[in-house]
């Protein structure tokens, strides 16, 4: 039996949260505003999106940039750490394209 690495387990606890992978995929395109993220993920509630963005920010996977204009402009951008997971998510996409049937 293989012993699981605690870091692997920790990574899947974060990435396994609903919407996290999808939010990261949306942010791959570059700096994105909250409403733009919400538009691309229509099934996520604003409350859940806010919570997941905070989770990712706390994990240093995204950066929240506030521009002091009127109105205030807030954008979200993947950090180096957040960008580093995108090749793995692209591989998951390849696997899904081949093996996951849409319900």
Counted residue by residue, the chain has a size of 103
For residue 24, tell me if it sits in a domain: yes
Helix (H) or strand (E) segment spanning residue 8: helix 6-15
For residue 2, tell me if it sits in a domain: no
User: Cα(56)–Cα(74) distance, rounded to whole angstroms?
Assistant: 15
User: Cα(62)–Cα(54) distance, rounded to whole angstroms?
Assistant: 9
* SS3 state of residue 63: strand
Output the domain CATH number for residue 75.
1.10.10.10
Q: Which pLDDT belongs to residue 1?
A: 56
pTM: 0.90
For residue 8, tell me if it sits in a domain: no
Given a cut of 60, whether residue 65 has pLDDT beyond it is yes
Q: Which pLDDT belongs to residue 103?
A: 78
Q: Which pLDDT belongs to residue 80?
A: 98
Give the pLDDT mean for 60-75: 95
Contact by Cβ (8 Å): 57, 81: no
For residue 6, tell me if it sits in a domain: no
User: How many domains is the chain built from?
Assistant: 1
pLDDT tens digits, one per residue of 5-51: 899 899 989 999 999 999 999 999 999 999 999 999 999 999 999 99
User: Cα(56)–Cα(94) distance, rounded to whole angstroms?
Assistant: 24
Q: Is residue 82 very low, low, confident or very high in pLDDT (cuts 50, 70, 90)?
A: very high
Report the sign of the C-alpha dihedral through residues 92, 74, 65, 75, in that order: positive
Residue 44's domain spans which residues?
Answer: 18-97
Choice between 43 and 2, residue whose per-residue pLDDT is larger: 43
């Amino acid at each position: 039996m293989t012993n699981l690495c605690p870091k692997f387990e920790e990574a899947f606890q974060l990435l396994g949260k609903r919407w996290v992978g999808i939010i990261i995929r949306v942010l791959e395109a570059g700096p994105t505003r909250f409403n733009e993220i919400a538009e691309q993920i229509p099934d996520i509630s604003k409350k859940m999106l806010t919570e997941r963005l905070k989770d990712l920010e706390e994990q240093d996977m995204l950066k929240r940039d506030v521009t002091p204009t009127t109105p205030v402009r807030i954008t979200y951008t993947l950090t180096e750490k957040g960008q580093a997971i995108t090749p793995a998510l692209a591989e998951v996409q390849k696997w899904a394209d081949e093996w996951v049937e849409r319900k």
